[in-house]
Chains A and B, each alone.
Chain A
Amino acid sequence: MALRVNYFVDETVSNLRRNVLLTLAAVSTVSISLLLLGVVMVGGEVLTKMVSSWEGKVELNVFLRDEATPEEVAAIKTQTTGMPEVEEVFFESKEQAFEEYKRMFKDSPAITENVDPNALPASYRIKLKDPNQAEPVASRLQGQPGVDEVQFGGEAMKRLLKFTGVVRTILVIAIVLTLGAAVLLIANTIRLGIYARRKEIGIMKLVGATNWFIRVPFIFEGTVQAALGALVASALIYAGKVFGLDRMQDAILFLPLTVSSGSIIRMFFTLLLIGIVIGVFGSTLALRRFLEV
C-alpha cells in the first residue's frame, strides 16, 4: 500500500505541475467562488452582530407608582423573573434614576437643578430573551398593582425588528446562493480538468486500472486545489478585514463593524471543508461518465 500512496502523491504532484494552466484556472475559480462565499459569511457576521446589538438594547421599563408597597414591588420582581421570556431584571431606585438623569444632562446643570430627586419614579428594567416578546410581556404587566406604566419601544421597535428580520432572511438567501454558485463553478472546473484528460482515463481503463485507482489522483488534485483556493480566499478576506473593516471600525466607533481574527480562522476551515467536499464529490461525479466503459 505504501507504494500506491507514493504513486498517488507522485501522480498528483506531476499532474498539477504538468497542467499548470489548468491548475491555475482551477485554483483561481475555487478562490473566487470561496471568496464570494467568505465575503457573504463575514458580511453576515458583521450584520448579525450589529443587528443583535440593536436588538439587545430593547428593554421594557416598568415604572412603579410612588405609593406602591414593598410587597407589591417584590411581587412584580418575582412575577417578572419567573416569566420564561425574561432574561434579566434590574431594579432602578428613585435615587439611581436621578443619578442617571443627572449624568445624562451633566452639561446642562440648569435642567437638573430644577428637578426634585423625588420626581423620577423607581422602575424595573427588563431584558428579554427575544425582543419580539416585548408587547405580550408588557401587556401582562400593565395594570398590575404597583405598576404605573410599562414602556417599550413600540412602533419604532417593531420597525427595527422587522428590519433585522429582513436582514437575516436576506443573509440566509445570499449564503445559499453563493454556496450554490461555488458548487457549480468548482464542479464545472473539475469537469473541464477531467475532460482534458479523458484520453488518459480511457487508456487507464483499457490496460485494466481499477476505478478507484483512476479516481484517487483526481480526488487528491481536487483536494489540493480546494485547499489552495480556500487559503487564497481566506488571505484576501483577512486583508480585507485588516485594511478595510478595521480602519472603518476606527472611524465609526459606535457600530460593531469588525470581526475577530479567530472568526477568520474559523471561516478558513469552513471554506476549506466546503472546498474539499465539493472537490471530492465533484470529481467523483464528473468521473462517473468517463469510467463507464
Chain B
Amino acid sequence: MIARLSHFLVTVGRNTQLLLIEVGRLSNLARHFLYWTFAAPLAGKQGLRRHSFVQQLIFMGNESVFIVFLVTASVGAVLALQAAYQLRQFGAVLYTGALVSVSMTRELGPIVTSIVIAGRVGASITAEIGTMKVQEEVDALTTMGIPPVPFLVVPRILAIAIMLPCLTALGDLIGIFGGYLIGISGLGLDSNLYLRQTFEALIPKDILTGIAKSFVFAILIGLISTYKGLSVEGGAEGVGRATTESVVLSIIAIIVSDCICTGVFYYIFP
C-alpha cells in the first residue's frame, strides 16, 4: 500500500517536473517571440517577414472560415433551443434572443471559434514546422544565419492573433443568426421582436470582452503550436505525436485561460 502510494507520488512529482520544464521552454519561446516582434526591429534587425505573414493570414482564413460558420451557427441554434426550454417555464421565451446574443458574444463565440482554430490551424502549424524540423530545414535556416523564430514563429503567431478575433466577430454574428433562425421558425417568435431583444440586450462590453479573450486564446494557440512544432524529435511519428499534443494542450490552455479571463473581467469591469 505504502509502496503503491509512494510510486503514485513519484509519478505525480515527475509529471509536475516535466510540466514545469515544458512551461519553462514555452515561456522561453514567448520571450523570443516578443523580442523578435518588438525589440529586434527597433535594433535594426529584420523582425516580421511581411510576405510570409500575409500568406499565413490568407491560408488561415481560407482553411477555417467555413468550419467556423458551420460550428457557430449550430451552437447558436442549440443555444436558442436550450434557452427556450428553460425560459418556457417562466413564460419568458421572448427573451431567447437576448440570451443567445449575450452568451454567444461573451463566451461561446470566442471559445468555440478558438477551439476550431486550435484543431484546424494550430495542428497544421505544428505539423508543418515539425516536418521542417525533422527534415533538417530548421537547421538549414539556422546555418544560413536566419533565426527560425522571426522566420517561422512570428508570422504565424501574429497571423493567428489578427485572424482569430476577426473570425470570432464573424462567428458571433453567425451564431446569433443561427439562434434567430430557430427563434422565428422553430419557436414561432416574431422576427422583429426577436431582433429587438437581441440587440437591446447586447452592450459593447459583451462584444469587446469576447474579442479580447479570443486575442489571448490566439496568442496561446500560436505559441503552443509553434513550440510543439519546433520541439519535434523522432521522424514522422514524432510529428504525429506533437500534432496531437499541440491540439490537446491548446484546448486545455483555452479553457483554463478562459476561466481566468472571465474572472478578471468579472471583478475588474463589473
Question: Are chains A and B native binding partners rather than an unrelated pairing?
Answer: no
Interface residues in chain A, defined as those with a beta carbon under 8 Å from any beta carbon in chain B = none
